[in-house]
Amino acid sequence: MKTAILLAFLSGLVILAGGALGGQQGLVLAFVFALVMNVGSYWFSDKIVLKMYRATEAGPDHPLTRITRRLATKAGLPMPKVYVIPDMSPNAFATGRDPNHAAVAATEGIMRLLSESELEGVIAHELAHVKHRDTLISTIAATLAATIMMLAQMARFAAFFGGSRSDDRQGGNPLAALAMILLAPIAAMLIQAAISRNREFGADRGGATMVGSPMGLATALRKIDSAVHQVPMDANPATAHMFIIQPFFGGVSKLFSTHPPTEERVKALMEIRPGM
């Protein structure tokens, strides 16, 4: 429900931006361009991201493969491909356009850091993302946010070259347009980050349910959070939302963070423990 409300706000922001800028044609053009860009990213995300992090496919007898196979069977999911990332920073992510084309990847660092029960909690979290189709949800959010940012860019470009002459004819409001140029991209980023944080809570709960206990995941989150601060990952910011914990840290406001604070996630996991 929270995700649906946030997506509705994001969609409304697109409409408001188009109305304020007074150009339906620009709105449609920006939306189509953003849609093509993000659908392409959604369709090929697994190949792009896995290649970006030099991931290699794990063999059938690899511990990561055995854990993933056991959990996927338990959750009624198709067996995803399993990859190992040659990086000592502990982290993991899931990718792929749907459960039938999913992949789970984990770093060498996370396998050295965690016990088997903790690693099981992490893989269950990633399989919950697959089950909830969070890749699709994040793509929709990214498409809408990118449309807003493109509209703001087009408005800035038009204002610089005097392209707002037609605003009066089309009913656009110059003050509203200026507000959209300045505020809409920030609002879009805030909503997109909030959607990402909300999906993390959902995947935590789904992973704990899949395993039957929140303890392994809760302990794993604390360990990963501590280790990532010591050994941050050289990750592309565009992929930060995919990882189980944000792979790098530095002056990012909580509002713009793609992940909730680890202690909040652990607290939420502990609250579901009595029900299990």
208 in Cβ contact with 272 (< 8 Å): yes
Q: Is 118 a catalytic residue?
A: no
Tokens representing residue 27 in the block: 């709105």
Nearest to 64 by CA among 7, 107, 21, 17: 107
Q: Are strands 56-57 and 81-85 parallel, antiparallel or unpaired?
A: antiparallel
DSSP 3-state of 91:
coil
What is the spatial distance between Cα 68 and Cα 102, in angstroms, rounded to a whole number?
12
Q: Which helix (H) or strand (E) holds 82?
A: strand 81-85
**From 126, 200, 263, 264, active-site residue:** 126
Tokens 């909030």 belong to residue = 194
- DSSP class per residue in 219-264: HHHHHHHHHHHHS-----GGGGGGBSS-S--SS--TTT-SS--HHH
Active-site annotation, residues? 126
